[in-house]
A and B are shown apart, each in its own frame.
Chain A
Amino acid sequence: MKSFRRMAYPYLIWSAVFIVLPMLLIIVYAFTKEGNSVINIQFTLDNFAKFFSDKVFFYVLRRSIYIAIVTTVVCILLGYPLAYIIACMKPKSQVVMVFIVTIPTWINMLVRTYAWRGILDKNGMLNSILGLFGIGPIQFLETAFAVVLGMVYNFIPFMILQIYNSLSKMDDSYLEAAADLGADKVQTFMKVVLPLSIPGVISGITLVFLPAVSSFFIPKLLGGGKYVLIGNVIESQFLTSGDWGFGSAISLIMAIIIIISMHITKKLDKDNSAEGGNG
């Protein structure tokens, strides 16, 4: 079997160069001074100090997290009911509905996000419909609303599919047992269905929060220049101002925040399942 094992080696080398090395470069750039060569590397925390001493960056970071949390919550509130409705359908309609939810995710995100500009524009479709009722025109673009809408639109399919997966795996006999033991519909949902679907919600949160907190083209397209998030700051450090050290430091800070929030959600999940096991 050894000859087959060797087939993994080229990829091992490839991933060392193209996956591990770039991550190391980010760390190196974040902690070293600009303009040093391979021989002369100087350690520094200036990049991090710059981030935390400037209120603007901190404010942008807070806003990014806030937007990502709002997006995640909206995705759960809208996605859970739809996942539940799909899971209650006939098996054949379930397949069709899952397909319907999945198709948009195959289409370029930029294309779908750009479409919202035409809809939300001051002279756009939504305002002309509202105009028929004598409302508006309302400024939708370049607001937090537009950014959250764009993010919900792009990321909600992941939430729906995750919750649907956990709901559709659920054993019907639990529901029958609950009904036999005298639980009404609301009780069955709250005490049986909801707790059992939490793992799906958790993985949905991961799939929504992570791209939401780091997104930079949705705020750019729908928020205009006025609604800057942390991803936009990283982009400009690399592509306009050329301060790679600072850009790397910001991405590290963002990565750490993501890792911490993943950890918290996973822990919540574990606590929850432990509770369910004991009860």
Chain B
Amino acid sequence: MKKKKHILSKIFAGLMIAFFYLPILYTIVFSFNDSRSLSVFDGFSLRWYEKMFHNSDMMESVFYTIAIALLATFISTIAGTIAAIGISKSGRILKGVVEQVNNLPIMNPEIVTAIGLLMLFSSLAVSKGFTTLLLAHIMFCIPYVILSILPKLRSLDPNILDAALDLGCTPVQALVKVIVPQITSGIFAGALIAFTMSFDDFVISYFVTGNGVNNISIMIYTMSKRINPTINALSSLIIAIITAVLLILNITPIILEKRKEKKQK
């Protein structure tokens, strides 16, 4: 679709971009504000960052968020890959059932998943805290990993796997040397989604955690009852981490490709 560009459309697009990024910029700028003011920038200062680093609850929540996100990503990526390969080789009925069940956490409102897990953990008498938080995050990450790997598996040529097995590969060798290398992009995409889903999660974490184990989202939620510029500092820290992750993941493949090209030349 190509058409002449209208000035009005440019203005509209500009306004929409401003709408998207204004709150993000606002948070970053006012995290460096010297006063508590919400509207006037009274000079550059790092006092809110200082406060944040001295606030042990906040630093703990940063630690828990990163620890949970890394663990949940690691476990759900491996489990999701295994499950996806199994599903792709399953019969039609089993495949249909697992895919339907797998879609439930994605389609359900988060709050429904959250209260379901809350009741599950308490009926199993698991005490709320790090374990429940991690289990819940693994639970909602795996479906996304599976969803991003399944299409890759579908487009694989089954003959290659048969050839590997015929040529004397054990199933494990065939898996590691034939299947996994062909679906790496799907695995990485799944891991990225899992990491950001876990890192950003609020609703499910809020319901299943307890005993003082909080992530950053819960921290902001509970602290936000009053205007508190320290939240801006914490927010900016999160924005910085996620932006860094996104940039690294988007730029690394480009650099690697360019290096390959250079080597080939």
B111 touches A234 (CB 8 A): yes
A88 touches B5 (CB 8 A): yes
Chain B, 185-225, CB within 8 A of any chain A CB: 196, 199-200, 202-203, 207, 216-217, 220-221, 224
Closest-CB distance, A275 to chain B (whole angstroms): 23
Q: Which B residue sits closest to A150, measured CB to CB? A: B23
Interface flag for A214 (CB, 8 Å): yes
Interface flag for B24 (CB, 8 Å): yes
A107 touches B24 (CB 8 A): yes
Question: A128 and B40 in contact (CB under 8 A), knowing A112-B23, A168-B1?
Answer: yes
Question: A11 and B82 in contact (CB under 8 A), knowing A118-B227, A211-B109, A248-B115?
Answer: yes
Task: Point out the residues of chain A lying under 8 angstroms from B227, CB to CB.
Answer: 117-118, 121
Q: Which A residue sits closest to B218, measured CB to CB? A: A110
Interface flag for A92 (CB, 8 Å): no
B39 touches A127 (CB 8 A): yes
Closest-CB distance, B243 to chain A (whole angstroms): 8
Q: Which listed residue, B12, B87, B203, B232, touches A216 by the CB 8 Å rule?
A: B203
Interface flag for A278 (CB, 8 Å): no
Task: Point out the residues of chain A lying under 8 angstroms from B16, CB to CB.
Answer: 78, 82
Closest-CB distance, A90 to chain B (whole angstroms): 8
Q: In the complex the two chains form, what is the Cα distance from A10 to B80 in whole Å?
A: 10
Task: Point out the residues of chain B lying under 8 angstroms from A234, CB to CB.
Answer: 111, 115
Q: Which B residue sits closest to A214, measured CB to CB? A: B109
Task: Point out the residues of chain A lying under 8 angstroms from B38, CB to CB.
Answer: 118-119, 121, 123-125
Interface flag for B238 (CB, 8 Å): yes
A110 touches B27 (CB 8 A): no
Interface SS, A side: helix
Task: Point out the residues of chain B lying under 8 angstroms from A57, CB to CB.
Answer: none
Q: In the complex the two chains form, what is the Cα distance from A100 to B159 in whole Å?
A: 41
Question: A114 and B82 in contact (CB under 8 A), knowing A8-B90, A211-B109?
Answer: no
Closest-CB distance, B38 to chain A (whole angstroms): 5
Q: Which listed residue, A10, A78, A104, touches B79 by the CB 8 Å rule?
A: A10
Task: Point out the residues of chain A lying under 8 angstroms from B232, CB to CB.
Answer: 118
Interface flag for B98 (CB, 8 Å): yes
Q: Which listed residue, B17, B30, B119, touches A100 by the CB 8 Å rule?
A: B17
Question: A244 and B119 in contact (CB under 8 A), knowing A115-B26, A168-B1?
Answer: yes
Closest-CB distance, A191 to chain B (whole angstroms): 15
Task: Point out the residues of chain A lying under 8 angstroms from B151, CB to CB.
Answer: none
A111 touches B235 (CB 8 A): yes
Q: In the complex the two chains form, what is the Cα distance from A10 to B107 in whole Å?
A: 22
Q: Which listed residue, A25, A78, A112, touches B119 by the CB 8 Å rule?
A: A25
Interface flag for B134 (CB, 8 Å): no
Q: Which B residue sits closest to A112, measured CB to CB? A: B23
Interface flag for A133 (CB, 8 Å): no
Question: A125 and B39 in contact (CB under 8 A), knowing A109-B202, A247-B115?
Answer: yes
Chain A, 69-100, CB within 8 A of any chain B CB: 78, 81-82, 85-90, 97, 100
Question: A7 and B83 in contact (CB under 8 A), knowing A104-B24, A118-B227?
Answer: yes
Q: In the complex the two chains form, what is the Cα distance from A117 to B235 in whole Å?
A: 13
B175 touches A110 (CB 8 A): no
B207 touches A25 (CB 8 A): no
Question: A8 and B217 in contact (CB under 8 A), knowing A18-B120, A117-B227?
Answer: no
Closest-CB distance, B122 to chain A (whole angstroms): 9
Interface flag for B127 (CB, 8 Å): no
Interface flag for A198 (CB, 8 Å): no
A4 touches B171 (CB 8 A): yes
Task: Point out the residues of chain B lying under 8 angstroms from A261, CB to CB.
Answer: none
Q: Which listed residue, B26, B90, B111, B115, touches A119 by the CB 8 Å rule?
A: B26
Q: Which listed residue, B89, B115, B217, touches A1 by the CB 8 Å rule?
A: B89
Interface flag for B112 (CB, 8 Å): yes
A104 touches B26 (CB 8 A): no
Closest-CB distance, A177 to chain B (whole angstroms): 14
Interface flag for A235 (CB, 8 Å): yes
Task: Point out the residues of chain A lying under 8 angstroms from B12, CB to CB.
Answer: 81-82, 85
Chain B, 222-258, CB within 8 A of any chain A CB: 224, 227, 231-232, 235, 238-239, 242-243, 246
Residue numbers of A with Cβ under 8 A of B are 1, 3-12, 14-23, 25-26, 29, 78, 81-82, 85-90, 97, 100-101, 103-104, 106-112, 114-119, 121, 123-125, 127-128, 153, 157, 167-168, 170, 172, 175, 210-211, 213-214, 216-217, 220-221, 231, 234-235, 238-239, 244, 247-248, 251, 254-255, 258
New A-B pairs, 9, CB < 8 Å, besides A7-B86, A106-B242, A117-B227:
A18-B139, A25-B116, A108-B238, A109-B202, A110-B202, A110-B221, A127-B39, A172-B2, A254-B109
A-B contact pairs, 22 of them (CB 8 A): A4-B85, A7-B82, A8-B89, A8-B94, A19-B101, A19-B104, A20-B101, A20-B104, A21-B120, A26-B116, A81-B12, A107-B242, A108-B200, A108-B235, A108-B242, A114-B224, A127-B39, A210-B109, A211-B109, A214-B111, A248-B119, A251-B111
